[in-house]
Chain A
Amino acid sequence: MAEIIVVTSGKGGVGKTTTSAAIGTGLALKGHKTAIIDFDVGLRNLDLIMGCERRVVYDFVNVINGEANLNQALIKDKRVENLSILPASQTRDKDALTQEGVQKVLDEMKKTYDYIICDSPAGIEKGAHMAMYFADQAVVVTNPEVSSVRDSDRILGILQSKTLRAEKGEEPVKEHLLLTRYSPERVERGEMLSVKDVEEILSIPLLGVIPESKAVLSASNQGQPVILDDESDAGQAYDDAVRRLLGEDIEHRFLSASKKGLLSRMFGGR
């Protein structure tokens, strides 16, 4: 049975697309048939981060409108087996997403895929609502600052009231907190909220903490999900998060400011 996982946040620019690409790729690397859908209609950039922008012919909205079938629109990843991307349209707006249309596409995808990752647009309007409506699980991406935490809190309320599971009174959407762009140095200086602060306010289980990392930008410049950079701190943190999502119990790392030892300085550890 396929699991639908929405990656959402409320606030913009916190790392949803980076996370969707990393987690989707991570699940596929572990042998699960995975698709990532870009719900950010009008502003597509999942295909850029995945490095498949030149292979886009048809998109999500085309499939909803019956202008293309799913197999024509899905792009198979060239590096990772079991991974496909359903890109968003750049020329349409979010009203092109209808609940029936989204449901039709998801129902068809559920037959083939183990995991369907929905990369939500920012905000709490239609696009974000469509991305979360059919979800079984939610990864709530949060930066360690007050406004992002507040928006995540709001999204959590919506997840528990305005999703199909909520409306049908089924078991609620399973929530995961993913803290991204975490900088232990800045937390120590009191410029950012700590993991503990955020956990206390949101009170949902912590899936992972992704450190602020140069590796993210350079990966996205190369059109490579950062999880493929297994030397980098962010790549490793995302890999941990994927393992936790699959049920492994792994200790959290990258939580405190690195006190670089002599060895790591000599060998240029990141």
Chain B
Amino acid sequence: MTYFRKKIYATAGFNTVALGTGRKEFHPKKPRPGIEHYIKEAGMGSINQIQNPENIDEGVIGNFMAARFCNQGNLGGFFPMVHPTFQYKPCIRVEGACDSGGLALVTAIKTILADMADVVMCIGVEVQNSVKAIYGADYLAGAGWFSGERKEGHAYFFPDQFSQRAGACYEKFGNEKMRAGMAQWYVNAIENARKNPDAQEYHNKNSDLLATGMTSPNPKAFCEHINVFDCSKVSDGGSALIFASEEGLKKIGVELKDAVEMISFAQVQDNLTTPPPDLTKLSTCAVAAKRAYDRAEIKPSDLSVLDVHDCFTIAGLLAVEAAGVAGYGEGADFVIDGNTKSYGIIPTNTTGGLVGYGHPTGASGVRQAVDVVKQLSGKAGDCQVKISPDKPFGMMSSMGGNDITVVAMVFSISSA
């Protein structure tokens, strides 16, 4: 744990409700809160858990496509709205598609490591229900290479990218096994979301989730190899998390026991203009996880909790392989055997993940870190899993585009 020149802590995590179809309060035709609302709600939710918000030095806002979904740019301008003492403090907005939240985390950390700040607030946010899904698909396709891939691409560009991955896996590892694994991923996601009042699928009452997960794809209206339940949700939501140095924690009046140490991260960038080297692998995610483990000097089996970027159920299966908890080609079986359930060997996506909690794209990376931090500090409510003292670690891995932009981050129960 010598990777950083000083200790970095995470604390005061907060997630808003992920709003969208499935939530009782969601009505597509009624007016809904805008992006500024989620920034403020998430920021305040975090501030309410600390003593001295005036000592927050800077802000980082992670967001993917507000410019198109909400016709809104200059998001940093909403930071002073969160709290009066934020006026004239630095804030930067970062973007890396669905990993925008992950980039917000690393930006905050780097600022502290650079001795430019002691306390930085990260906010991830996205509002996507402003347009119908068919147009939202256009906006989200911006995570791919527009001039190189969009024209040939599918109406539902990203679902199709992962449908192709599912197809490649069917061919290599068997259709039946993969399909069953994806359906089981869906079941776990909804079961976990039912324990998380903020999750978009919290109100899901379906009594036969497995059958729903097994629904046959409809290539005429959607994709060839995946069904709509294999997809994460279209969500509005925001998340906030505070990073601080040891001194920073004191300044905001947070005790060490209420914070979790961030012991390593890896930020990995692949080339957007080259196709994935192997459709049956998330190669970039694997590099990120490996680096994060190496820097933390731990192994996958040291984790008590894991949060991966399951923008699609197939991505979930490939992500547990990339995270090294399951072997190559074994993700489906690993999940079918119950290993990722909340009581399994490695509880994964314990609050629902992107399929169950929802996927407010730019917020997801922050949301994942918030949930891992909550688990390690014993504040995960009904979603709490067992954190054994010999495995005090949790990891999140967040992905932008088709395995292009990745952040993996390891947290540990604070040692001091």
Asked if A and B bind, the verdict is no
A residues at B contact (CB < 8 Å): none
